[in-house]
Structure 1
Amino acid sequence: MARDIDVATKDPPTVCIVENDASLRRGLVRLVRGHRLTVEAFAWPGQVLRRLQAGQLHCAVLVLDIHLGKMSGFDLHDRLTQMGLSIPTIFMTGRDDTTSRERVRRLCAKAYLVKPFEDAALIGAIRMALKETR
């Protein structure tokens, strides 16, 4: 049974972003911080995975690119599930396709955003995920 993340333990909750494009990652961090949310950003899935495994990180919401190289966003999500973590996830992609869209739906992700997306779409999805987890 997956354990839910207790977002009440962090004030404000931490939004974890995994995006391998440095420019986009910096922009996402600025956007989310601009809405008075705490952000931890990572270039590669292994970085966030190691921090979570070590208990050094608490993610209230995970904003995750699907296409990250060796370990995909889907792979990271699967590993977190195997660890017993249930973190509300927002998937992003630059390549919209039916297979990915369907997989995201089956995973019960909070949102599926196709790049480029409106800032309001991401912030709205994050706020909705945070509200649902409280």
Structure 2
Amino acid sequence: MLINPPSICILDDDASVLRSIVHLLESGGFAASSFQHVAEFLAHVHEHEIKLAILDVFLGEENGLVVQTQLRRIAPDTQVIVMTGREQPGMQATAMENGAKAFLLKPFEDEMFLEQVREALSDIG
């Protein structure tokens, strides 16, 4: 376990996906908080410094790419990884243009995911 692991927040409306990702991150030595609702996630970001946000695109009635834009205004130094199980044309380009460090299609390989997390965190200056 890292002595002071960077704060990572995951936003996904699927509780089972959240549990799996939190478990994977913790097994990799990272501290992670999970959120199913955009309002709770944004409230947390307002109150705490986070290093990395992992955002699902399809969040019920809400859109993770919109959340990404809101996050940029609130915490511009936070690194972002965007993930989705249903890619649509232009989605990856939009995420990357808005500063995402990676765009991942679910399901993804555990080690590849952890490598993307490590890379995003290594970009923190």
TM-score, L = length of structure 1: 0.85
Letter in 1 for 2:12: E
Q: Which runs of 5+ in 2 are unaligned?
A: none
Higher RCO structure, 1 or 2 (CA under 8 Å, sep 6+): 1
What is the aligned residue count?
123
Letter in 2 for 1:65: D
Q: Which runs of 5+ in 1 are unaligned?
A: 1-9
2:80 matched residue in structure 1: 89
Query: Matches of 1:40 and 1:83 in 2, distance apart?
Result: 18
2:70 matched residue in structure 1: 79
% same residue: 28
CA apart distance, 1:84: 5.0
2:106 matched residue in structure 1: 115
1:87-113 CA distance string (max 9 Å, x none): 110000011222101111211311100
Cα RMSD (Å): 1.5
Deviating beyond 4 angstroms after TM superposition, the runs of 4 or more aligned structure 1 residues are: none
1:39 matched residue in structure 2: 32
1:65 matched residue in structure 2: 56
Query: Matches of 1:19 and 1:83 in 2, distance apart?
Result: 19
2:118 matched residue in structure 1: 127
TM-score, L = length of structure 2: 0.90
Q: Is the Cα–Cα contact under 8 Å of residues 53 and 81 in structure 2 kept in the other structure?
A: yes
